[in-house]
Amino acid sequence: MFDEYSIAIRTMPTELNDNIDKEDIRAMFDELLLKDNRVFDESLYKIVCKKKINTNLTDFEVKELLMNLSKINIDINFYDKKILRKVSKLDFEKIFFKD
């Protein structure tokens, strides 16, 4: 169950797909937002669109971000043969927007 204090990240169960690109990541976020049927002021979709996941983010940065997120083992749920990981907004921001 998602709420305004959590963010869902879908990752591969064991390792990242090396072929994943920024459009795939955007599609994952879009799908998660649609499945949840709720939009919050600080939703993942808005954070991502406003901040980092854009054409300026390098493939290496995207991969590093996903690898870091996949290490967080909070509230793991199986979803469409992939894993849905629920990450607190603070954890997400610490990883995603680290200085």
Show the CA angle centred on residue 94, arms to residues 13 and 8, nearest 5°.
40
Instruction: Indicate yes or no: pTM above 0.85.
Output: no
CA distance 89 to 59: 23
Residue 1 lies in a domain: no
Other C-beta atoms closer than 10 Å to the C-beta of 45 total 19
Residue 17 lies in a domain: yes
Residue 32 lies in a domain: yes
Residue 51 lies in a domain: yes
Total number of domains in the chain: 1
Least trusted range by pLDDT, from 3-17, 50-64, 85-99? 3-17
pLDDT of 7 above 60: no
Residue 11: its pLDDT value, please? 43
Q: How many CA atoms lie within 13 A of 93 on its CB side?
A: 9
pLDDT of 29 above 50: yes
pLDDT tens track for 34-84: 554 444 434 444 444 444 444 455 666 666 665 555 554 333 333 333 444
Residue 35 lies in a domain: yes
Give residue 86's domain range. 6-96
